[in-house]
Every structure is written in C-alpha cells, then in structure tokens.
Amino acid sequence: MSYLREVELGATFPPFASLQERFGFVPNLFRAQTLLPRTIEAEAGIANAVLLQERALSRTCKESIMLAVAAANRNTYCAAEHHQTLRSLGVPDQQLHQIVIDHHRAGLSAPDTALLDFALKLARYPAWLSGEDINVLRGHGFNDESILEAILVTALVNFLCTLSVGLGPAPDFEPPAIQRSNKTRLPDARSYVGGTCGPYLRAVELRPQNFPPFAFFLERFGSIPNLFRAQTLRPDAIEAEAGAFRNVLIPEDILSHVQKECILLVVSAANLNTYCVAAHCEMLRAMGVSMEDSDQIAVDHHQADLSEANKALLDFALKLAVRPSEFGREDIDRLQISGFTEEHVLEAVVVTALNNFINTLQMGLGTTPDVEPRRVFGPRDVHLPPAVESLTEEAEADPDAGLVARVQDGDLDAFEELVTRHSRRVYRTLVGIVGNVEEAQDAVQDTFLKAFQHIGSFQGRSKFSTWLVTIANNTGLQRLRERRHLESLDDAGPETDEEFHPRQVRAWADDPEQLCSQAERRGLVESAVMRLPPKYRVVLVLRDIEQLSGEEAAEALGLRIPALKARLLRARLMLREALSTHFASNAKRMVS
C-alpha cells in the first residue's frame, strides 16, 4: 500500500518479471508506480546498470553506500531494503548497525571508510564537493571507474529516497533503527565549491555515430551535454539515463514539458546546482519562456507569472526534494485539490526524484555548464519553503519519543533511561551557565526533577532533548541570579555595541593539535571556557562542545538567531585570544 492507487500489471511486465526472478519479489516502491509503467522501466534500467551489474565496485560496497546514505537521509524504506540485502550478502548485524549509526566505527577498511565519507558528503552537501575529495579517494587506491561508480550509486540512492518519500510504500522488510545523527553542520563556507570545478574524472571519446545515446542527446539538445560526456567510462549508465529521459521527461501525456522543466528548474535551484539551472533555463527558453521568467521561477516561483495550480505543483516538488521529512499524504491531497490527478502526482514525484539523481550526479562529476550560467548559486541564494513544520519533523525524528510516552504512562524505568541518555548533555549545558563543576552537578538533579514534574505536559512540539536543555538553561540562570551574578544571560541589549578587536595576531601553527596531548587540550579548553562571561560561555558550550544546531541552541536559550550568532562569534574570538599563547607558531610577528 502506498499513497497512490495501484493497478495489476501482470507477471509478464518485463521489469517485474526480472525483479521476481532476481529477488523473488517485487519491491513495494515499484508496485506504487503501476499507474505509469514507463517510469518503472526507466528506474529499473538505471538500477540495473548502476547497482546490479558487477563492475568496478563490489555489490557489498555499493549496498553499504546505499545503506549509509539512506540512513543519513533518514529514509526508512531504503534503509530497510539495503539493510536486508547486506544481510543476505553475509554482512554481520553488528557491522550493519554501525554503518547505520556511524560508519567510522563499523570496522571497515580505510578505503571503504573513505568511500562512505565521500558518498555521504556528495549525498548531503554536494555543493561542497571538490576535486580534493576525488583525490582523497585516488589516494586510497580507487581508480576513476570506481569513483564514477560510487558517484552513480550515491545519485541512485538519492533518487530512490526521494521516490519512496513521495510515494509512501510500506517497507518490504523490518527497517533498522535509524539513529544516525544529522547534526552535521554545513561545511566551512570557505570550502563551498558550487559543483562546476571539474570535470574531475577521466573520460574517453564516444561518437554519436556509433553510440546511440549520444545521437539521442544531440537530436534532443542540439549538443551532447557535458554531464554525459563526463561519464563515458560507463556507456551502460549513459544508456540507462537516456532511457530515463525518454520514459520520464519526453512523454507529454500527463504533465507538460514546461511543467516538468519548471520542476527540474526549481529543485535544481534549491539544490544550488548552477549547472542544471543553466541547462533548464535554456530548455525553457527553447519552449518560449523568457530568461527573466526562468530566473524568477528559479529564485522564488511564488513571485513568478504562473497559475496557482502550477505554483502548487512546484511547492509540492520543492518540499519533496528538500524537506522530505515534512512530506506526507496531505501534500498529495493538496495537489489533487489543485486539480491534479493521481497520474500527475506520480509523474511529479518521479520527475523530482530523477532531478535529485541528476543533480547529485552532476555535483559528483563537477562538470562545467554547457551554456553560460545566468546565476551562480551560493548558499543563501534561494527561497526555500518556510520551515513552519520543522517542529513536526523534530517530533517525528525524536529518538526519545517512545521513552517519553512510557514515562507519561507512569514507567519510572523509562525515565531512568532518559536520565542516563541525557545527563551528560544537561551537565555540559549547566557547566556552560554556572561555570562551576560542583554546582553544575548539583543543578543536573534539579533539572531532571523539574523535567519529571512537568513531563505530563510535554507534547512533543520540540525534541525532548531540546526541551530538557531549556529546563537546564532556566535552572542554571536561576542559580546565577541567586548568586547575584552581574552578568545575565537573558540581557536583551544590542550585541554589537562594543566592538571586539582581536589583540593576538600571531599566526598559529599549521597543525596546532600536534603541540599537546588530547588531555592537555581538554584542560586548556575547559579552563579558558570557564573564564568566559556566562552569556558567551553557554552559547559556545551548546554550539561547539555540545554541537547543537544554531536553531536548537537558539530555541533552548530563548534567543533569536542573529543574537545567538553574534554571541557565538564573540565567544570564539575570546577563546581564540585565550588559546593563542599555546598554539601560536614560533615565528612571532608583532603588529602595532
């Protein structure tokens, strides 16, 4: 059962017959698309070329990539699928569990670990991927064929994840518990690449005269896009991609070409994919849409000259692609209320998913645009759908929800488990506020007692851990006030009235962590953090030590994001001053 009506295709439908023969069953993800058999054919073609053929990487290796990325995407359906496959390939349960949670502890070889690092970066932060990441893999002994296959597999799992979110099939197997933390912050802005600095991989010459997919692209686009030229080490993959274009993007019996191109454009823009945005603007231009209109659709389609129904279609695609955890049956209903049929919905899901495949592939290959881009995307360039429903997302993803429900039913053992899970986090928060180890330990008790007292009224509108940190924050503040501490955490005064001028301007050693042991570093950090004023200390502890996201820390402290950011920078700069004497390089340079 899935969100859409299913029809009987019969055992002779070739992709189903082949799946049945290979796996002994037809996965629900494909059954969910029986309204449009041509989409199933397209997907089966790609999956067959990329995953099922034994080429450069082993099946186990490819399935491990798929499991790790599905878990990082918090995609239960795909995680269950690849978990089961790896089991049947003989991978022990304990190792699978670690691949889901943290592949660095899964006992994998260094090259396999590096390969999963790469795939996860490509899947989650593709615009930050660069030639350096490719070189890391080469350093581990992977050749260009293997790297291309890893890119294709990562693109495929993103494709399947988006499909399964949009179609809502029941998992075919018992899903593993997905506890992978998604707290990973965006990589350093300095390393933002934008995905067009390649091509990173070797390519060979294929000619349209004797390679039909290139003849097809040439006829369709007037030239062969760089995206396909960069994959010539794998002609079978290019052939499958051409098949997907033929089966998904070219037919006009359901959605029109312009509608499909608009979906591809908005989702590529949301994915910050400069290459694909340039390509789809060009396609729309050929269909009579002006460049200005395309630019507007890419940046904010709500301000574009589109019908309300088409705006709803693009809202749907955008939410599915970039906020999958908020996506649900109500989004399908909303689209149908706007006048779309189930076939329209299905095709919109498949086009969006295919777009995520192409975007991931392109960023992995780093191909330069085929036409001069009108806009080069950076991290802040696009309007994403409002995150008003993020609270639901958190609640759904809250790993403590089950324990909280048991406590609310009177189960004290469940509360004890919550204390075990969270006492360290609560303690760190309190150290950050009160600045004293003994007092923080004391305040941990107060915090949990208050949490227990009020847990009956906790409704899951935020994560339990965030709620707990809020209580810890209030408990710590109360203690500070009792001490009549002059500096208050909740002072709402301007953050930047007094400018902070760095005083230590000696360069640091290239690798400062080599200058002292882990224990010494910890001691230095702890003592420097303790000397920070409380309002800076707590922000630094929550963000850099506890590693909460900016949103989580702001919510827990009751601060607005700009205030939080200003305090965090100040705290980091003050800490930098304090640590400078220990980590500066020997080459001292005095600056007036």
**Applying CB under 8 A, which residues contact other proteins?**
185-190, 192, 376-381, 412, 415-416, 419-420, 423-424, 427-428, 431-432, 441, 444-445, 448-449, 452, 496, 499-500, 502, 504-508, 512-513, 518, 521-522, 525-526, 529, 540-541, 544-545, 547, 550, 565-566, 568-569, 572-573, 575-576, 579-580, 583-584, 591
- CB-neighbour burial class of residue 496 (10 A; exposed 0-12, middle 13-18, buried 19+): exposed
Q: Are 100 and 178 in contact (CB under 8 A)?
A: yes
Q: Is the Cα dihedral 335, 341, 347, 353 positive or negative?
A: positive
What phi and psi, each to the nearest 5 degrees, are found at residue 584? Answer: -65, 150
Return the number of the residue (484 or 503) whose C-beta is nearest other proteins: 503
Return the number of the residue (339 or 562) whose C-beta is nearest other proteins: 562
Nearest alpha-carbon partner for 347 in 257, 216, 237, 217: 257
Return the number of the residue (61 or 451) whose C-beta is nearest other proteins: 451
Return the number of the residue (291 or 561) whose C-beta is nearest other proteins: 561
Report d(CA 118, CA 151) in Å as an integer: 9
Give least dist CB 246 to other proteins, A: 36
Report d(CA 368, CA 527) in Å as an integer: 49
- Which residue pairs from 587-590 have beta carbons closer than 8 angstroms and sit at least 24 positions apart in sequence? 587/507, 588/506, 589/505, 589/506, 589/507
**H helix intervals, 342-400:** 342-365, 390-397
Give least dist CB 427 to other proteins, A: 4
Give least dist CB 382 to other proteins, A: 11
DSSP secondary structure code for residue 380 in this structure: T
Give least dist CB 326 to other proteins, A: 21
Return the number of the residue (110 or 519) whose C-beta is nearest other proteins: 519
Return the number of the residue (31 or 535) whose C-beta is nearest other proteins: 535
Report d(CA 266, CA 381) in Å as an integer: 12
Return the number of the residue (13 or 128) whose C-beta is nearest other proteins: 128
Q: Are 171 and 76 in contact (CB under 8 A)?
A: yes
Report d(CA 426, CA 442) in Å as an integer: 11
Return the number of the residue (21 or 413) whose C-beta is nearest other proteins: 413
Return the number of the residue (236 or 577) whose C-beta is nearest other proteins: 577
- CB-neighbour burial class of residue 262 (10 A; exposed 0-12, middle 13-18, buried 19+): buried
Report d(CA 206, CA 210) in Å as an integer: 8
**CA angle (61 as vertex; 123, 133 as ends), nearest 5:** 45
Nearest alpha-carbon partner for 497 in 575, 570, 571, 572: 570
Give least dist CB 188 to other proteins, A: 7
Give least dist CB 189 to other proteins, A: 4
Return the number of the residue (207 or 501) whose C-beta is nearest other proteins: 501
